[in-house]
Structure 1
Amino acid sequence: MSANIALGLKQAGHIHGNRPAVALGRTTLQSYSQLAERAARLANGLQGKLGLQPGDRVAIASKNRPEYVEAMYGVWWGSFAAVPANAKLHGAEFRYILENSGARACLVGPELLATIAEHRPDSLEHLIVLGSDAYATLFDADKAPLAEVDVDDLAWLFFTSGTTGRPKGAMLTHGNMSAMAQMHQDHVDPTETTDCIIHAAPLSHGSGIYMIPHVNQAACNVMPGSGGFEPAEIFELAEAWGGMSLFAAPTMVKRMTESPANPPARGFRGIIYGGGPMYAEDARAALDRFGPCLVEIYGQGESPMTITVCDRTTIANKTDPKWEAKLASVGQPFPELEVMIANADDNADAPSEGGEILVRGATVMNGYWQNPEATANTLKGGWLHTGDIGSLDEDGYLTLMDRAKDLVISGGSNIYPREIEEVLLQHPNVSEVSVIGRTDPEWGEIPVAYVVGQVSPPELDSLCLANIARFKRPKDYVFVDELPKNNYGKILKSELRKRDHG
C-alpha cells in the first residue's frame, strides 16, 4: 500500500464519493469524488505544465479559502512537498521561506499577490493566483495516478514561528503525517463520515494538519464565509452542520467563551486547543460554557500536534480528586510515543522540579531543512529536544513549567513564569499577563509581570502572597493595553524582554 498521505483522499473519493468534502459556510462546494479528481488533475498539471519533479517544493501563501484543500492534496498526490506559509507574515518573511525552501512554484491567494510579487526571490519560477485563469489551466490535464512515495519522503515543510531568530523548516514526512492522523483518530477526536471540521485557525498550521485525519474519514472541511474567526459565525455553522470540531489557539477559545452570542444547541463534537498555554481559569470557563467537548493537545512543529493529549473525559471529570492538577496539565503522552523528562545530561533522572521534555516516536520530524547543526542539536541522541521544561506526575500527566529560555533564575532559585501567570489570572480584572525576567544587580534576575487589565499592584501582590512563595512574587508590574503576539497568537516574551531591557 502506498505511503502517500493523499491515499486517504483517493479512498474517500472512491468509497464516499457523494459525501461533502469542502464547504464555504453552509454551501457545499465539492464532494469527495470531485475533490479527489481535482487533486489528481492538479498533480498532473504541476508536473506537465510547470515541469515540477517529485520532491520539488510548492509553497502555498493564502488566507483560508476553499482551494487550499485541493492545493495541498494536489501537491501530495504528485509526490511534491507542500510549504504552507502563514498569511500574516511580512513580505520579507515570505521571501525568506520561499528562498530557503527552494520552492519552484507558489500558489498565492489574490490578497497576497502584490506582497509576494514584490518580495519574490529569483529562485521562484512560478507564481500562480488561486482561483485565477492560470490556476484553472492546471486542471486541464488528465488525472494523474497517485504517486508512490516512501514513508520518509518529505510531505510538509513546516516553518517554525520564529519567536527567536530565523524560522527553521521542520521536515515532516508522509510517515510523520500518517502517524499523526491515526493518533488523532484514536486518541484526540474520533471522527465519522458525517462529521466536519471548521477551519477558523490558519490552514498553514494546526487546522491544516487536522485536515488530514478528517479527509481520511471523509468528513467535511468547512471554511467560514467571513474567511476569519468570528465566534458568532462559528456557533451558527456548528448548529447548521452538526458534528463539528475545530482546532483553536487558547486565545480563540477564550474569545468563544466570552462571546455574547448563543453557543450551538447541538454543541461541538470537539474543541481541540493547543499552541500556547491555556490557563486553568480559562479552561474552567470554557468547560462551563461548552460542556464536555474540550481536548487539549501539546505538540510542536517538530512533532505536529502530537506529544501529549488531555482528553475530554479527563477535562470534564470534576469529581476526580486530582481534577484541578490534571486540568492544569497538558495530559498524558500519546501511547505510541516516548516522553522523557531529562536533566542537563539527557538522562531520565531530572530533579524534582522538572527538566527538559524529550520526545521519541513516529511523529518526530526528520530534521530541519538544510540546517544540519540545528538538526543535530535538536535530535541529539535520537530524541526531540523540545526546549520546554516540564514534569511528569505519578499518573503520567505532563505539566508544562515553561520554555527553557523563559526560566527566571533569581538568587539561585528557579522561578517559572507560568506559575505566576496562573495566579495573576485569577484576578477578575486581569485579562492577559506575561512574566519575564529582568536583569538585577543583586539577584541576577527578578520576575516582572506585564499586565493587561484594570487592577492595582497591591491587589496583585496580595494575590501572589496568598498563593505562591514570596520570592516568586513579581518585583514590578507593567500595565499595557495589549501584549505582543506572533501570527499564531503566541505571546512574544522575546519582544517584552526587548522592551523591558530598553
Structure 2
Amino acid sequence: MVVNWLKKQALENPHKLFLNELSFQEVDRRVTDLAGRIYPFVKAEDRVALYAHNSVDMALFFLALQALQIEVFMMNTRLTPEERAKKLKTLNIRVAFSDDDTFIPLGRVLAGDYDGQARCREEDAPEKIAVIMDTSATSGDYKSVPLRRKQFAAHVQASRQVLGVREEDNWLLVLPLYHIGGLAILMRSLYNGTRVTLMGKFDEEQILKGIEEGSLTMLSLVPTLLMRIVNRIRRHHLRVVLVSGEFIPKSLVETCLEKGIPIYKSYGMTETTSQCTTFCVAENPGKLDSVGLPLPGVTLRIVNPDGSGIGEVLVQSPLVMDGYLGQEPAGGFINTQDMGYVDEEGYLYILDRRKDILISGGENIYPQEIEQVLYAHPEISECAIVGMKDEKWGQVPVLFVVSSLEDEEIMDYLARKLARYKLPRKIVHLRWLPRNATGKILKKDLAELAYAD
C-alpha cells in the first residue's frame, strides 16, 4: 500500500513537496535507500518497534519499514522502562529502533551500509497488519490495536470524500506519530499527494507564522492545543481545522466561528483508524453540539438507550479494526464505550465516556455537561469532573480546576445553571491538569487525587 502510493506520487508529482522540504521523489529515494540499511536488522523479523519523537527521520523509518512489509509497533515515548519491557515481551518483539540509545539508534542505521538484498515490494495483502498502536489509556491498561492495510485504505478514501483535496493542501503534523491522529495525517497526505509540515513539538510562534503566511492550510489538533493559538490568529488561509481527541468546549467552537476559522468537529479513536464522524460547523451551526455525520461507509448504532434515547455508541465500518491483538475478533459493530445519541438527521452527539458517568442518588450525571458550563466562564482555563464514592449518594462529583476564582464564586456560578445534584461536592485547585501526549486529561490520575484531603 505505502510503496504503491509513494511510487505513484513520485512519478506523477516528482518535484512536489511532501514531507517538509522533501519532494515525493526525494522521499521515495530515501525510503528505498533506508529500507536497504534497515534490512540487515530486520530480515529475520515480522514485527519491530519504533520508539521515537516526531521527526522527518522517524517518518522515513516508518515508511521504509512499511515498504519491507514489517509490522510496526508505534511505542509511546512516555512509557516507563518497565512498561516498555512488558510491551515488547507481550508483543514478542526482539528488535526495536529509537531516536536515542534506548534501543537501536536511528543514527546507527542511517550511517550503515546499504544491503542490496532488500527489496521494497508491495503485494496485494489488505489483511496484513501494517501498524500496532496502543489506545490512549486515559484509564486502565493499554490495549494493542492492530490496524491493517485495508483499514488505512478505507480511512483515507472516506476522509477524502468528506474533506476533499486541493493542490495547495499542507497539513500541520504536530500530534505524535505513535498516536493515530498523527499517523493518519501522514497516510492521508501520502494517499492524496499533498504536503505535510511535520514538527517535533508544538511551537506556537512557528505555527502562527505558517498560518498567517498561508503555507499551512490544514490543522488537526486536540482542543487544548487549538486553545493555545486561536485568539492569536489574525489572518489565515486555513481550509480545514479538524478538532477531536477529547471533550471540545463549546466556547472554543464559537470563537472559531467568530474569527472565520473553518472548524470541523470530529470523533474517532485508534480502533476506528482515526475519525469516523465529522462536519464543518460553519455549514450547519445549528448542530454545534454534535460531533458530526458518519463518514461514507460508517454505520452507527445506539444500544441500551434510556428514555431520552441516550445509549452506548457502536460503530461498524471497513475502517474499524478487526479486534484487539490477542483477543477474539470484534465481529461487526464495536462498542466505543462512549454514551451518546443520534438525532433525526443522523448527527452523532457524545455525552461522555461510559466509565466517566456518575450515578448519584439514582441520577445520571454527565461530567461533560458540567465541564461545558465551566469552560464558558472566562476565568476558568481548565477543568475536569470525576466521581468520588459517597455512602449516601453512591457517587458525587469532584471538580478539578485551573482558575483564579474562589470556590464560592465557582459554586454560585454553577448553581445558577445546573440542578443541585450536579454540583461538585469538592473543588480542588491545580496549576495544571495532568494530560497524556495528545492533550487528553488523565481522569484516572485525578480520580486518585479526589480522595486526598
TM-score bucket (shorter structure): over 0.9
**Among candidates 29, 42, 66, match of residue 37 of structure 1:** 29
Q: How far apart, CA to CA, are the structure 1 residues paired with 2:443 and 2:92?
A: 31
Distance (Å, rounded) in 1 between the aligned partners of 2:167 and 2:30: 20
After superposition, where does 1:371-450 map in structure 2 within 5 Å? 372=327, 375=328, 379=330, 382-450=332-400
Contact 2:6 2:24 in 1 (8 A): yes
The number of aligned residues is: 451
**Contact 1:431–1:452, Cα closer than 8 Å, also in 2:** yes
The 5 A counterparts of 1:85-164 are: 85-110=75-100, 113=101, 116=102, 127-130=103-106, 132-137=107-112, 139=114, 141=116, 144-164=119-139
* Matches of 1:71 and 1:166, distance apart in 2: 28
Other-structure match for 1:122: none
Deviation of 1:11 after TM superposition, in Å, equals: 0.7
- Mark the runs of 5 or more structure 1 residues left unpaired by the alignment: 117-126, 344-348
SS in 1 for 2:450: helix
Alignment partner of 1:333 is 2:294: yes
Q: 2:226 is matched with which residue: 250, 253, 276?
A: 253
CA contact (8 A) 2:256 2:262 kept: no
| 1:354 alignment partner in structure 2 | 310
1:44, 1:143 within 8 Å by CA — same for their partners in 2? yes
Mark the CA change 1:96 to 1:190 in structure 2 (over 3 Å): closer, same or farther. farther
Aligned-pair CA distance for 1:328: 1.7
What is the Cα deviation at residue 139 of structure 1?
Answer: 4.4
| Secondary structure of 2:41 counterpart | coil
Against the structure 1 CA distance between its residues 454 and 243, is the aligned structure 2 distance closer, same or farther, given a 3 Å change threshold? closer
Verify the 8 A CA contact 2:48 2:96 in the aligned structure 1.
Answer: yes
1:195 aligned to which of 169, 193, 205: 169
CA deviation map 1:234-292 (0-9, x unaligned): 02123456252121111000011244xx54x4422222111111110122123333x24
Contact 2:138/2:441 (CA < 8 Å) preserved in 1?
no
CA distance in 1, matches of 2:56, 2:169: 18
Is it true that 1:473 corresponds to 2:423 in the alignment?
yes
Pairing partner for 1:267 from 212, 231, 237: 237
1:38 and 1:139 in contact (8 A); partners too: no
Amino acid at match of 1:306: Q
Structure 2: gaps (5+ residues): none
Distance in structure 2 (CA, Å) of the matches to 1:33 and 1:68: 18
Answer yes or no: is the 8 Å Cα contact 1:44–1:78 preserved in 2: no
Find out whether 1:342 has 2:303 as its counterpart.
yes
Cα distance in structure 2, aligned partners of 1:269 and 1:89: 35
Paired with 1:91 and 1:284, the residues of 2 have a C-alpha distance of 43
Q: Distance in 2 between matches of 1:39 and 1:143?
A: 12
Identify if the C-alpha distance between structure 1 residues 139 and 355 changes in structure 2 by more than 3 Å, giving closer, same or farther: farther
| Contact 1:438–1:446 (Cα < 8 Å) also in 2 | yes
Quick one: distance in 1 between partners of 2:252 and 2:48? 39
Distance across 2 between alignment mates of 1:308 and 1:237: 27
Give the whole-Å Cα distance in 2 for the aligned partners of 1:45 and 1:200: 27
* Distance in 2 between residues matched to 1:284 and 1:385, nearest whole Å: 30
Letter paired with 2:346: G
Distance 1:53 1:481, change over 3 A: same
Question: Is residue 68 from structure 1 mapped to residue 58 from structure 2 by the alignment?
Answer: yes
Q: Which residue in the other structure is 1:452 paired with?
A: 402
SS in 2 for 1:340: strand
Bigger Cα displacement from structure 2, 234-243 vs 449-458: 234-243
SS at match of 1:446: strand
- Give the equivalent residue in structure 1 for 2:207: 234
Match of 2:319 in 1: 363
- 1:79 matched to 2:55? The reply is no
3-state SS of paired residue (2:377):
coil
Identity %: 27
- Cα deviation, 1:92-127, whole Å, max 9, x if unaligned, reads 3332333322234322113xx2xx2xxxxxxxxxx4
For residues 102 and 152 of structure 1, what CA distance do their matches in structure 2 show?
20
TM-score, normalization: structure 1?
Answer: 0.84
Contact 1:9–1:32 (CA<8 Å) still a contact in 2? yes
Q: The residue matched to 1:302 in structure 2 has which SS?
A: helix
Q: Tell me how far apart the structure 1 counterparts of residues 336 and 27 of structure 2 sit (CA, whole Å).
A: 36
Structure 1 residues 43-87: Cα deviation after superposition (integer angstroms, max 9, x where no partner): 34444x224357x12222111111122211111112111211233
Distance 2:264 2:393 in 1: 40
Which letter maps to 1:304? T
Distance 2:311 2:143 in 1: 24
* Counterpart-to-counterpart distance in 2, 1:80 and 1:477: 49
Q: Could you tell me how far apart the structure 1 residues matched to 2:139 and 2:275 are?
A: 22
- 1:223 matched to 2:198: yes
Quote the Cα distance in structure 2 between the aligned partners of 1:439 and 1:143. Answer: 59
SS state at 2:384 partner: strand
CA–CA distance in structure 2, aligned partners of residues 439 and 304 of structure 1: 35
Q: Which residue of structure 2 lines up, in the alignment, with residue 491 of structure 1?
A: 441
The worse-fitting range, judged by mean Cα deviation, of 34-43 and 443-452 is 34-43
Go from structure 1 to structure 2 and tell me whether the alpha carbon gap of 1:272 and 1:407 turns closer, same or farther (over 3 Å shift): same
